[in-house]
Amino acid sequence: MRTVSLNIKKDNVNDFLQLLWVELSEKIGSISCQHFYLDTDDKEIYIYNVIWCVDQLSFITEFNFYNHTSKGLIRVDVCVKDKKNQTINVESEKKVLSVISEVNRTDFNSKLKNNCFKVPIEGPISFSGSYYFERVNIGLVAEDCFNYLVFDVKYITESQLNVLIIEKIKLILAALSVCTQQVFEYVGGKIYSFDDCSVYDLLGESFNNFKQVESFVDYDEIIEDNKIVLPENTVNIISNIILSPKAQNSAMRFIESLKLRAEVFDNNILNGFKVQYELLGYVSSIESLLDTSEKNVVLNCPKCDEKIEKPQRRISAQFNEFVYNHSNNSSIVASTMKQLYNDRSKFVHMGKGLISQSLLSKQPLYLEGKTYKQNFPSYYFNIHEFTGELIRNSLRD
């Protein structure tokens, strides 16, 4: 393999790869690849292995990009072999290496484009007016009984633009679900693009006031005149979700659970089994916010009673601490979340179902000694509200 040193900063890694794919496609030939992301002995370095092979080309190219978690791409190893005799294809190798070297010299800041987009979204209720979240440059517009997201996207190549737009829409909608306890979705419709004005310009001159409420459980608490008035801490919550990978994961798991919940209520007979996966999502939405790194804990050896250090993540203990810290001293929330976590453990580790689809609500419970079968866990009808409140409370500062 031939090695090319790279100096691609972490923030430009995906821009580099996108541009490299475009240049290789235009200057050498069409691209179709197998992709693998591999560990190394160094916990900070991963190998992005790519095998480029298409019928139209007479050679196979293998790339090993070395991606440092903080420094970015530091090198790439390249092997270009002839398909027939499996020897190095020198001429094609020169072309591939030339393209890599050229893209490696790119000033990505000069190539960066920035467009603003206005996207229609649908939900069960409209917002009371327009809002602007300055820290993350995102707007929310209520206009003619329609709701719109307004945001900007920075990109290098046109090929990556659609993906970036959809990913940003999904992330903002997940953040809104945490803030409002409701599911808002982009279900199609024209996406308006603007390259000559800012997000702020697209919002109009007047912005809605935020509701003076510290915390809420039931979303009816933020409804006025049949419209949502966002709480003032929404500014911090949305910003923290957009800027934190952990909070992004949490918000995505939360909105996924709310969507499953809607499907269950839409058709309990066909979708009742989804309750179990909805409940798993609520646990995951909280676990996403915890510290999952291993820490050494001093324990007594069961054989010799000597002190030993053992790496542990303490996820269950952290889960309980999280609930205690963000439940506003509510014993109901604490006991409910404990039930949820225990049920989740039984489902994941023992395969124990959390519902019985054979039972209808008009029938008596089906008793089984120490326990009974039930359509839904007893806490089901409040668990989404309790989970949402906990997440909001943890992200509001």
397 residues of the chain, pLDDT tens digit each: 899 999 999 999 999 999 999 999 999 988 888 999 999 999 999 999 999 988 888 899 999 999 999 999 999 999 999 988 888 888 999 999 999 999 999 999 898 899 999 999 999 999 998 999 999 999 999 887 789 999 999 998 888 899 999 999 999 999 999 999 999 999 888 999 998 889 998 887 667 788 888 888 888 999 999 999 999 999 999 999 999 999 999 999 999 999 999 999 998 878 888 999 999 999 999 999 999 887 777 778 777 878 877 777 789 999 999 999 999 999 999 999 999 999 999 888 888 887 754 444 556 766 778 766 666 788 999 999 999 999 999 999 8
Q: Is residue 251 part of a domain?
A: no
Q: Is residue 252 part of a domain?
A: no
Domain match, 263 and 366 both: yes
What does the block give as tokens for 319? 């889960």
Nearest residue to 394 via CA among 261, 386, 281, 168: 386
* Last-in-domain residue among 59, 88, 110: 110
Residues 6+ apart with CB under 8 A from 161: 115, 153, 155
Domain match, 309 and 332 both: yes
Q: Is residue 92 part of a domain?
A: yes
Domain match, 365 and 267 both: yes
Owner of token pair 């409804």: 223
Domain match, 91 and 136 both: no
Cβ-contact 8, 85 below 8 angstroms: no
Cβ-contact 98, 80 below 8 angstroms: no
Please give the Cα distance from 60 to 330 (Å, whole number): 62
Q: Is residue 169 part of a domain?
A: yes
Domain match, 138 and 238 both: yes
Domain match, 85 and 177 both: no
Alpha helices in 106-244 (DSSP H): 108-111, 158-180, 199-202, 234-243
Q: Is residue 249 part of a domain?
A: no
Our count of domains for the chain comes to 3
Q: Is residue 158 part of a domain?
A: yes
* Last-in-domain residue among 180, 215, 243: 243
Owner of token pair 């291993």: 294
Nearest residue to 318 via CA among 291, 278, 347, 353: 291
Domain match, 167 and 133 both: yes
Q: Cβ-count burial of 247 within 10 angstroms (0-12 exposed, 13-18 middle, 19+ buried)?
A: buried
Q: Is residue 248 part of a domain?
A: no
Q: Is residue 250 part of a domain?
A: no
Domain match, 195 and 294 both: no
* Last-in-domain residue among 217, 243, 269: 243
Nearest residue to 18 via CA among 163, 159, 114: 159
Cβ-contact 47, 62 below 8 angstroms: no
Please give the Cα distance from 282 to 290 (Å, whole number): 13
What does the block give as tokens for 156? 């290098």
Domain match, 275 and 382 both: yes
Domain match, 55 and 97 both: yes
Amino acid, res. 125: I
Domain match, 33 and 136 both: no
Please give the Cα distance from 188 to 42 (Å, whole number): 44
Please give the Cα distance from 54 to 56 (Å, whole number): 5
Range of the domain at 149: 112-243
pTM for the structure as a whole: 0.86
Domain match, 224 and 330 both: no
